[in-house]
Each structure stands twice: as structure tokens, then as C-alpha cells.
């Protein structure tokens, strides 16, 4: 097995046992990137020089018996809105094309301290909104990988990195993770520091992360959040609530069929599936989310927008412009709806381990002009509740499908336990078949 195809758990075990050098792992990853990047376009900026220096240091330390933790020597990709000291950070915008931060984002600092090796910066939609990055879906290059964390999801899916970080303000982690057939986690709002990450909308922005297994996700989350979710080894069959009225009504037929099949498998292995009603306030959550995000994005960009409006691509330009026109009372009305929905949703989740829904309305849409629909994810960005997507199967076109699990705030350990159980039942969907030229 080539080192680039190892999960974090597998690579970490080999590094700890002296059977794999972080340098060899990195070189395998760099060869993989060299072979696939022209087709996938997951990376904005690669830093092979910096990565090799970090990997050599981790190899030296490992040789001396010093292992910093489970991410020691593990290559990582970072969405190009994370500040990286001395490494270009563009926000996916020509306005920041030559922007080089002086310091690291707090998450990056923690990753480096834990021994992770920063390989480079992954593609993002412009300012993490909807104007697409050039990235393609590794399962089918004619389809979108989703967004806004397009490069992070595609890099993990195509084995160009075992771990990548992104963000979510609407559905920017769960959606691309599901489209690309990997695990994506959006923890509770503010569980992980956003310091040094360029904002889209402060009160909705979350750090997100991508791995190939739930166990890997738990390890990475523990490193950056200080949680202990990876200690949850095995959860019993869960009691999950399924809100069919919106999530099944809006979903495309392939998603409905895939979700029903996943439910049957979970029930067959002992999960208790309870049909739950969404609170009345749910019907206003997408409007509330839109208004809050537009106003906060407008506030972030107001000064720059007045001077450089033409420098923004169409979607973010329209969104910022619309946010500048929203009355203050409408913003507050949206925040009042948000609070009511959050309270009603928490009450509705009483007695459940998690809420279970399809991760996306459809498999990854064809074409690269849109990054897909975040309607199934944005309610949880609005409440700040933790969510995870786990691959659940393939569509007729062999595109990944996923299930989204949601737990009450700060219940990441519970969420990871249920996700691991679901993953064990639903099984792996594998990785996309990508032809690699000999020698790569």
C-alpha cells in the first residue's frame, strides 16, 4: 500500500512504530499531487519546501522517540482563507492574489504544534461564498466537488491529503464532503477558534474538517478543539430522529432512495428510527440564514466594496450589495427567528441521540458553474449545532451520497460515537478510481 492511501490512524501507527518516516509519507503525497492535480485542481498554493522541512523535523523527532501526538508527521491541506505565516493566502479572490500573512491562524498554530505537516493551501470559492473554484469532483471530473471548501474535500477524496481543513457558514463543509464521498465535520459554533480565518459571516462561520474515516476526524478534532471524542470507541445502536417533512420532500429521487436504503440498514442493525416533526419556526430558517449572512458579509466587505466593487465576482458582489440594503430591524428579526428555532429544535431533540437526514439535496450536480445546494446544512449553521456527514453509498451515476448527523451543542463525543456506529453499518464506499500514470 502506498503511504498516500493510508488513513491518519494507519499512518500514525506506522510512524509511532518507526515503520514509516514522515518524509516518505510526504513524498508519497507530493507524488500523488503531481499526478492528479492537473485534473482535480484542488490546490491554490503548494509549499513543498516548507513541508519537507517540517517532515524532516518530525522524522528527526520520531527517530529520537519523541512523538507529539496522533498528527505527528501527518500531511494536511488548509483552505485558502486560513492565515499561514509567509505562505500566500488569497481567499479565492484576485483582490488578495498576492496577500502573504505574517502569522498563522490559531488552528494552523495548533496543527503545527501537534506535528502536522502543512502541504499547502486548498481552493476555495471567492471569499468562501458561491462563486466556484476551478476544482473538480474526483468521482467524476465533470461534476462540482461542492463548495466553498472545494479543494479540501477533493484533496482528501483523491488521496492527496489524509486531512484537510475548511469552513462552513451555510453548507461549505458538509456539502462538499458528501459530494466527494468523505467524512466532514462541522463542530459546535466557537468550539474551535476562528482567529486568523477570513470571515464570511461572523456569527455563522465554523471551522470544518475533512478526513476519510470518522476515527480520523475524531483524532483531528481533539487536536484542534481540545476535545476527547476519539476516546469514544463504540456506541450502542442509537435512537435517531428523522425529520421527513422537509428533508425527504426536497431531496431528489436518488437521494430519497439512498437515504431510505441507509435507514433500513441502520434499523436492521438495531438503530431506533423515530420520525420527528420540525418546529414551526423551521419554515423561516432559510430566510433568516440568508439575511444574517448577507448583512454580516456586507459588514465584513463594506469598506473594500465601495472602492473595488468590480473586483468581486457576481455572486459575492450581489450578496454584499443586498446585505448593505437590509434594514437593521430585518437583521434583528432574523436573529429572533434564529433564537426561537434553536430553542424549539433543542426541545425536539430531547430523548434522541442525533437527528439524521440526507447530507445534500442531490448527488454532486453536473458542471462547475454551481457548487450545489446548502438547504440541508444551513439550518445547523444557523443554530451552531455540531454536524457530521458520513458516506452512505453511491448513486446510479456512481456519485457519493451521505447521511448528516446532528447533535445538541457541545455533544461532539456523542456525535462521533453515533457516526462511528453508522459508518460501521453503512460501510466504506472506497475512493474514486483515478488513473495515475506509471511512476506517480
Partner 1 sequence: MGEDQARRDYVNHFIDTATQLWGREAVSEIRTILERTAEAIWALGNVKLGPEDEPETAPGRRRGS
Q: Which residues bind partner 1 (CB under 8 A)?
A: 188-191, 203-204, 281, 284, 286-288, 290-291, 294, 309, 314-315, 317-319, 321-327, 330, 332-340, 342, 346, 382-384, 409-410
The pairing of beta strand 272-275 with beta strand 387-394: unpaired
Cα dihedral value 132, 135, 140, 141, nearest 10: 100
With a CB cutoff of 8 Å and minimum separation 6, the contacts of 202 are 194, 296, 300
Catalytic one among 93, 149, 158, 172? 172
- Contacts for 226 with CB less than 8 Å, ≥ 6 apart: none
**How far is Cα 156 from Cα 10, in angstroms, rounded to an integer?**
15
Residue 193 among the catalytic residues: no
Rounded to 10 degrees, what is the CA torsion of 179, 189, 298, 83? -80
Q: State the minimum distance, in angstroms, from the CB of residue 407 to partner 1.
A: 11
* Bridge partners, residue 140, by sequence: 137
CB of 396 to partner 1, least distance (A): 31
Whole-number Å distance between alpha carbons of 142 and 140: 5
- Whichever of 16 and 290 has its CB closer to partner 1, that residue is 290
Please state the closest distance from residue 170 (CB atom) to partner 1, in A. Answer: 13
Cβ proximity to partner 1: between 62 and 291 the closer is 291
Whether 28 sits among the annotated catalytic residues: the reply is no
Closest to partner 1 by CB, 45 or 322 = 322
Give the contacts of 200 (CB within 8 A, at least 6 positions apart): 127, 128, 129, 148, 167, 169, 293, 296, 297, 300
- Nearer of residues 281 and 359 to partner 1, judged by Cβ: 281
Residue 382 and residue 123: Cα distance in Å, rounded?
24
79 catalytic per annotation: yes
Q: Which of 28, 93, 148, 149 is catalytic?
A: 148
E-only strand ranges, 31-133: 43-46, 75-79, 117-122
Q: Indicate the residue among 314 and 397 with the shorter CB distance to partner 1.
A: 314
Nearer to partner 1, 204 or 419 (CB): 204
In angstroms, give the least distance from the CB of 208 to partner 1.
14
Active-site option among 12, 79, 392, 395: 79
**Omega before 148 within 30 of 0, i.e. cis:** yes
Residue in 419, 399, 423 with CA at minimum distance from that of residue 411 = 419
How near is the Cβ of 349 to partner 1 at its closest, in Å?
A: 12
Nearest C-alpha neighbor of 166 from the set 203, 132, 211: 211
From the CB of 192, what's the least distance to partner 1, in Å? 11
Annotated catalytic residues are 79, 148, 172
Amino acid at each position: 500500500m502506498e503511504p498516500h492511501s493510508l488513513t491518519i490512524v494507519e499512518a500514525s501507527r506506522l510512524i509511532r512504530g518507526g515503520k514509516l518516516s514522515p518524509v516518505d509519507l510526504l513524498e508519497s503525497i507530493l507524488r500523488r499531487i503531481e499526478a492528479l492535480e492537473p485534473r482535480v485542481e484542488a490546490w491554490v498554493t503548494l509549499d513543498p519546501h516548507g513541508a519537507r522541512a517540517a517532515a524532516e523535523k518530525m522524522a528527526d523527532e520520531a527517530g529520537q522517540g519523541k512523538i507529539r501526538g496522533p498528527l505527528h508527521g501527518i500531511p494536511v491541506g488548509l483552505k485558502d482563507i486560513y492565515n499561514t505565516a509567509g505562505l500566500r493566502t488569497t481567499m479565492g479572490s484576485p483582490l488578495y492574489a498576492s496577500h502573504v500573512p505574517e502569522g498563522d491562524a490559531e488552528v494552523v498554530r495548533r496543527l503545527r504544534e501537534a506535528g502536522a505537516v502543512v502541504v499547502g493551501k486548498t481552493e476555495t470559492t471567492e471569499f468562501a461564498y458561491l462563486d466556484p473554484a476551478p476544482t473538480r469532483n474526483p468521482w467524476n471530473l465533470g461534476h462540482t466537488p461542492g463548495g466553498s471548501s472545494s479543494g479540501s474535500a477533493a484533496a482528501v477524496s483523491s488521496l492527496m491529503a489524509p486531512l484537510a481543513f475548511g469552513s462552513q457558514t451555510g453548507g461549505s463543509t458538509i456539502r462538499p464532503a458528501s459530494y466527494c464521498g468523505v467524512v466532514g465535520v462541522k463542530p459546535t459554533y466557537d468550539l474551535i477558534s476562528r482567529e486568523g480565518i477570513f470571515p464570511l459571516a461572523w456569527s455563522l462561520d465554523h471551522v470544518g474538517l475533512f478526513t476519510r474515516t470518522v476515527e480520523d476526524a475524531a483524532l483531528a478534532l481533539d487536536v484542534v478543539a481540545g476535545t476527547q471524542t476519539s476516546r469514544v470507541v463504540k456506541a450502542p445502536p442509537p435512537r435517531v430522529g428523522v425529520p421527513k417533512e422537509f428533508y425527504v420532500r426536497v431531496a431528489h429521487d436518488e437521494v430519497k432512495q439512498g437515504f431510505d436504503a441507509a435507514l433500513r440498514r441502520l434499523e436492521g442493525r438495531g438503530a431506533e428510527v423515530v420520525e420527528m416533526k420540525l418546529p414551526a419556526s423551521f419554515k423561516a430558517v432559510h430566510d433568516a440564514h440568508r439575511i444574517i449572512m448577507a448583512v454580516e458579509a456586507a459588514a465584513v466587505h463594506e469598506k473594500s466594496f465601495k472602492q473595488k466593487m468590480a473586483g468581486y465576482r457576481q455572486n459575492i458582489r450581489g450578496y454584499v450589495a443586498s446585505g448593505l440594503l437590509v434594514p437593521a430591524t430585518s437583521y434583528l428579526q432574523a436573529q429572533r427567528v434564529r433564537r426561537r428555532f434553536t430553542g424549539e429544535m433543542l426541545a425536539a431533540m430531547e430523548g434522541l441521540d442525533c437527528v439524521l437526514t440526507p447530507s445534500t439535496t442531490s448527488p454532486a450536480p453536473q458542471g462547475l458553474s454551481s457548487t450545489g445546494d446548502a438547504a440541508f446544512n444551513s439550518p445547523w449553521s444557523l443554530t451552531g449545532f455540531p454536524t457530521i456527514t458520513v458516506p452512505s453509498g453511491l448513486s446510479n451515476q456512481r456519485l457519493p451520497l451521505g447521511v448528516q448527523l446532528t447533535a445538541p451543542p457541545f455533544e461532539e463525543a456523542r456525535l462521533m460515537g453515533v457516526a462511528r456506529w453508522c459508518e460501521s453499518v453503512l460501510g466504506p464506499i472506497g475512493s474514486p478510481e483515478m488513473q495515475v500514470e506509471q511512476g506517480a
